[in-house]
């Protein structure tokens, strides 16, 4: 079982790897490497706070027995026990990110968004050209009349209410579509908030490449300046993220204009742009998934180093391996979370725009 954290984002709940816990587990490995000499010399060691947290995580995941938690030293008092268990947990977590999100959920997230956007665009197009069903026209006319009344436009509200035949309702709806964007204050406020959330997601992609923590930055600098096999993966992953950042930059002006849209055609244009942005993020997830083989080579190299580590040189090399994993797993988790949350926020923005037009 991989520990996860549920978090709310714009009304949707995601279950993703808990990044703080992942980093504590990596820190527990780092602490163990620092203690290697003392353990090899038979000295008593003091369990670090990171290792204590790691023991709880390992016990909760049935990877160590309860008896291992007893005493002052615990499972990390022996390099082969706690270290190996923590390592197995980290490997399991990394593989779950790739196997479950990048290999499976990434496509489902993109498909869900495209389906919802296409349905919304279809509704907008049919309302604009009067090809909605009689039942849809009746429902839209009733909803729009209420919104027009709330917005203080009695003439538009009366025209919608007095329309009797489906043809009359469609004509009244077409006329209302030109009025509602400026009348529907509640929806206007909602779309502004939705746009801000989308822009926040786009900025978060930039923060991944810029490294949003000193520890991640230090590990990144050390790794990219080495011949470590993870260095190539990191450089390639950052190049892939930069492609999405470029796409986001082109998408940004379209997002900013949404809040002031006056024509229903803006809904359709926005939906089309969203689908292109979502396709770019799906490609990012697919490309990350393509790094699975190279990632496995990094894990194998680190595990070999763990088994052979004996002296100061090996110790330094092992710490470098752990730093490499820290950067890679942090990037992977953040990208997975951002792809999910950005999809939800884009769907929310499109829905809010439809509501602004009374659809």
Q: Assess contact for 284 and 291: CB atoms under 8 A.
A: no
Q: Assess contact for 42 and 92: CB atoms under 8 A.
A: no
pLDDT over threshold 60, residue 41: no
Taking residues 151-172, report their average pLDDT.
Answer: 90
What is the rounded CA–CA span in Å between residue 60 and residue 66?
A: 10
Taking residues 138-149, report their average pLDDT.
Answer: 90
What is the rounded CA–CA span in Å between residue 332 and residue 218?
A: 18
pLDDT of residue 213: 52
Give long-range contacts, CB 8 A cutoff, 24+ apart: 182-188: 182/151, 182/262, 183/147, 183/148, 183/150, 183/151, 183/152, 183/153, 183/156, 184/147, 184/150, 184/151, 184/355, 184/356, 184/357, 184/358, 185/151, 187/352, 187/355, 187/356, 188/259, 188/356
pLDDT over threshold 50, residue 5: no
Residue indicated by tokens 């489902």 = 108
For 76, the token pair is 């990390």
Q: Name the pLDDT band for 17 (thresholds 50, 70, 90).
A: low
Stretch among 83-87, 111-115, 158-162, 282-286 having the lowest mean pLDDT: 83-87
pLDDT of residue 2: 39
What is the rounded CA–CA span in Å between residue 25 and residue 90?
A: 7
Listed in sequence order, the DSSP H helices in 151-228 are 154-162, 166-177, 180-183, 185-210, 214-224
Question: Per-residue pLDDT tens for 217-256?
Answer: 566 666 555 666 677 777 788 788 888 888 888 888 888 8
Which of 127-141, 173-187, 222-236: highest mean pLDDT?
127-141
Domain extents in the chain: 4-121+184-356, 130-183
Of residues 307 and 264, more confidently modeled: 264
pLDDT of residue 42: 53
pLDDT over threshold 50, residue 80: yes
* Closest listed residue to residue 164, CA positions, set 138, 133, 140, 200: 138
Stretch among 48-52, 156-160, 162-166 having the lowest mean pLDDT: 48-52
**Mean pLDDT over the full length of the chain:** 77
pLDDT of residue 1: 37
Taking residues 261-276, report their average pLDDT.
Answer: 91
Taking residues 107-135, report their average pLDDT.
Answer: 93
Stretch among 71-85, 116-130, 259-273, 302-316 having the lowest mean pLDDT: 71-85
Residue indicated by tokens 């790691």 = 54
Q: Name the pLDDT band for 123 (thresholds 50, 70, 90).
A: very high
Which of 111-115, 151-155, 247-251: highest mean pLDDT?
111-115
- pTM, to two decimals: 0.79
pLDDT of residue 59: 67
How many CB atoms are located within 10 Å of the residue 159 CB? 22
Of residues 7 and 140, more confidently modeled: 140
Sign, Cα dihedral of 179, 180, 186, 192: negative
Taking residues 41-59, report their average pLDDT.
Answer: 67
Taking residues 196-213, report their average pLDDT.
Answer: 73
pLDDT over threshold 90, residue 275: yes
Which of 75-79, 177-181, 318-322: highest mean pLDDT?
177-181
């Amino acid at each position: 079982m991989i520990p996860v954290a549920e978090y709310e984002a714009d009304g949707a709940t995601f279950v993703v790897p808990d990044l703080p816990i992942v980093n504590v587990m990596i820190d527990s490995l780092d602490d163990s490497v620092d203690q290697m000499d003392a353990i090899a010399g038979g000295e008593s060691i003091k369990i670090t706070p990171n290792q204590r947290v790691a023991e709880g995580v390992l016990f909760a995941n049935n990877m160590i027995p309860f008896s291992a938690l007893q005493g002052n030293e615990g499972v990390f008092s022996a390099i082969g026990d706690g270290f190996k268990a923590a390592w197995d947990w980290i490997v399991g977590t990394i593989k779950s990110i790739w196997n479950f999100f990048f290999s499976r959920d990434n496509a489902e997230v993109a498909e869900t968004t495209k389906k919802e956007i296409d349905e919304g665009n279809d509704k907008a197009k049919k309302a604009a050209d009067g090809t909605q069903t009689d039942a849809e026209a009746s429902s839209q006319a009733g909803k729009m009349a209420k919104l027009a009344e709330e917005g203080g436009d009695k003439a538009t509200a009366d025209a919608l209410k007095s329309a009797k035949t489906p043809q009359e309702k469609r004509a009244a709806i077409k006329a209302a579509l030109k009025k509602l964007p400026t009348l529907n204050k509640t929806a206007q406020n909602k779309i502004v908030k939705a746009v801000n959330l989308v822009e926040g997601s786009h900025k978060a992609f930039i923060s991944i490449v810029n490294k949003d923590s000193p520890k991640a930055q230090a590990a990144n600098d050390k790794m990219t300046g080495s011949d470590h096999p993870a260095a190539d993966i990191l450089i390639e992953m950052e190049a892939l993220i930069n492609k999405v950042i470029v796409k986001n930059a082109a998408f940004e002006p379209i997002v900013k204009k949404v809040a002031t849209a006056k024509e229903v055609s803006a809904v359709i244009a926005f939906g089309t742009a969203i689908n292109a942005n979502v396709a770019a993020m799906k490609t990012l997830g697919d490309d990350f998934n393509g790094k699975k083989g190279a990632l496995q080579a990094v894990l194998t190299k680190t595990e070999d180093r763990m088994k052979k580590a004996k002296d100061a040189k090996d110790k330094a090399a092992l710490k470098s391996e752990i730093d490499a994993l820290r950067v890679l797993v942090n990037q992977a988790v953040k990208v997975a979370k951002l792809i999910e949350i950005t999809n939800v926020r884009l769907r929310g923005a499109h829905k809010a725009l439809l509501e602004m037009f009374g659809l």
